[in-house]
């Protein structure tokens, strides 16, 4: 009951304009994003079913939002998970709701639930085109084992993608290895792994490809000290820990207590060690504190307008006003400049999920000008197709992403490095996955990977997450990472 009540509260918050979907979901202690986004996607259909079945007239104490969530999971989801009176109520009306759904399909002359959705919800540009990206958590397993696990689950592995168009054509139970990021698997849009054992055990992370870019490009060396300045919900933090191989130290900051609590649970499930969470505004962190004297890498993903967030949630949010953008950009310039003031800093990655130049190129350009020749903008990921807008000389070194061009969330990434002796020991930027052979490259679709083939007697450890030790032993010198 609590799960559905929390999801209904998110829907109510959206109607009141209390925040965006992700912000409201993060305030809850439940993993609600998939349930809320799918309920929103079917919202018009659910309203028609509720009206036809007269459910709200029959059940006076049932709110429209709670009714939508319950009926979605009853008819379109994986079945009601709750107990108590709400489950009994929904089941009491099940026959009438199923009959109304059947009549609606007849009226619309369709046979599948998905065909009831409007084009903008079912197959239009933006959200519905973005694949389901699955990052393999190498703290607990390895890519080959996860591929074998999904093949055992009935999925067909097609090898490594050669182009974005291959990702666009995915359907059914087919999946690919991403062409840019070596630990990212790509499945068709709307594939749901929230109940999959690999997700619930922390062996895989459901993270958009564009969101993987900042930590990938920061590329801290194992053993380094790193700051994740605006860390919640923790996907990027867990990715940093995997890159660090759980060696070194991550200092993660966020101002929201609930988000940090959720993040702590997520990091523990992912097997992350060597991190310190602090409920603190990053702007109040003292760069001169001896605790941070070895911090050489900073990942900075500050609050932004979120205008690039298009994935899976068919809710049109109003464009931010000029005043709102100006206020955000002022905060972003301040926090970026603060990040550059850490004395041992070698590399900083600045990213937003915004499409607005004011929050992206304009911020980076202004801060670089403020710092003179102390830092330079790195030409990151030359093979990435979308570059920064020509806001200042060299802005094309920045990266942009969008649903239309890269099949991802809308994103912006800039990599800044200190010039001179302070950057001498800085680890070089990583190469794209396409620069070297990866997991089954050159094999027929569905064939087992030839590289790093294990002996026949070894079981696929990803099939039993609790027993998966291959990656742990490799990364901890043979000792199991707790």
- Residues carrying an active site annotation: 353
Q: Which two tokens stand for residue 330?
A: 């002022």
R_g over Cα of the chain = 23
CB 136 within 8 A of CB 146: yes
Alpha-carbon span 161 to 350, nearest angstrom: 28
- Helix axes 94-108 and 64-75, enclosed angle (nearest 10): 80
CB atoms within 10 A of CB 149: 23
Give φ, ψ of 122 to 5 degrees. -95, -35
Alpha-carbon span 350 to 355, nearest angstrom: 14
CB 209 within 8 A of CB 280: no
**Angle 268-191-155 (CA atoms, 0-180°, nearest 5)?**
95
**Angle 117-108-121 (CA atoms, 0-180°, nearest 5)?**
10
Sequence-distant (6+) residues with CB within 8 A of 100 are: 49, 52, 53
Alpha-carbon span 8 to 68, nearest angstrom: 8
| Residue 258: C-alpha distances to residues 30, 232, 262 (Å) | 11, 10, 6
CB 176 within 8 A of CB 159: yes
Q: What is the total residue count of the chain?
A: 482
Helices of type H across 372-482: 403-406, 470-475
CB 241 within 8 A of CB 272: yes
Alpha-carbon span 64 to 460, nearest angstrom: 46
Alpha-carbon span 244 to 224, nearest angstrom: 7
Per-residue burial over 48-72, b if 16 or more Cβ lie within 10 Å, else e, is: bbbebbebeeebeebebbbbbbbbb
Q: Which two tokens stand for residue 100?
A: 């109304």
């Amino acid at each position: 009951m609590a799960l559905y009540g929390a999801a209904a509260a998110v829907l109510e918050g959206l109607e009141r304009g209390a925040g965006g979907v992700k912000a409201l979901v993060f305030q809850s202690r439940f993993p609600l994003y998939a349930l809320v986004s799918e309920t929103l996607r079917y919202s018009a259909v659910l309203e028609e079913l509720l009206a036809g079945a007269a459910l709200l007239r029959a059940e006076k104490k049932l709110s429209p939002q709670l009714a939508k969530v319950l009926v979605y999971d009853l008819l379109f989801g994986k079945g009601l998970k709750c107990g108590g009176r709400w489950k009994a109520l929904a089941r009491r009306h099940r026959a009438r709701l199923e009959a109304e759904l059947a009549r609606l399909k007849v009226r619309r002359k369709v046979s599948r639930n998905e065909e009831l959705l409007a084009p903008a919800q079912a197959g239009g540009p933006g959200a519905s085109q973005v694949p389901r990206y699955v990052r393999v958590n190498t703290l607990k397993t390895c890519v080959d084992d996860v591929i074998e696990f999904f093949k055992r689950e009935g999925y067909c592995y097609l090898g490594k993608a050669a182009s974005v168009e291959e990702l666009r054509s995915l359907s059914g139970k087919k999946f690919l290895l991403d062409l840019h990021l070596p630990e990212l698997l790509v499945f068709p849009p709307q594939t749901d792994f929230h109940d999959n054992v690999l997700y619930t055990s922390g062996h895989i992370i459901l993270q958009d490809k564009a969101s993987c870019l900042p930590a990938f490009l920061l590329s801290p060396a194992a053993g380094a000290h790193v700051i994740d300045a605006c860390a919640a919900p923790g996907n990027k933090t867990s990715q940093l820990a995997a890159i660090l191989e759980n060696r070194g130290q991550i200092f993660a900051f966020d101002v929201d207590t609930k988000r940090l609590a959720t993040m702590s649970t997520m990091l523990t499930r992912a097997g992350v060690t060597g991190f310190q969470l602090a409920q603190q505004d990053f702007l109040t962190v003292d760069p001169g504190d001896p605790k941070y004297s070895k911090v050489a890498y900073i990942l900075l993903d500050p609050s932004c307008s979120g205008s690039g967030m298009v994935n899976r949630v068919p809710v049109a949010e109003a464009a931010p006003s000029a005043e709102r953008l100006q206020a955000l950009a002022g905060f972003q310039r301040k926090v970026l400049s603060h990040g550059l003031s850490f004395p041992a800093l070698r590399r900083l990655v600045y990213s937003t999920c915004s499409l607005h130049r004011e929050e992206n190129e304009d911020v980076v350009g202004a801060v670089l000008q403020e710092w003179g020749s102390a830092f330079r903008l790195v030409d990151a990921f030359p093979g990435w197709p979308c570059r920064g807008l020509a806001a200042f000389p060299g802005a094309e070194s920045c990266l942009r992403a969008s649903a239309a061009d890269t099949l991802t969330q809308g994103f912006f990434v800039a990599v800044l490095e200190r010039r001179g002796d302070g950057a001498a020991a800085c680890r070089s930027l990583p190469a794209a996955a396409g620069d070297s052979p990866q997991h089954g490259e050159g094999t027929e679709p569905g064939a087992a990977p030839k590289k790093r083939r294990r002996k026949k007697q070894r079981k696929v450890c990803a099939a039993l997450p609790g027993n998966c030790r291959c990656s742990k032993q490799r990364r901890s010198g043979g000792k199991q990472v707790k």
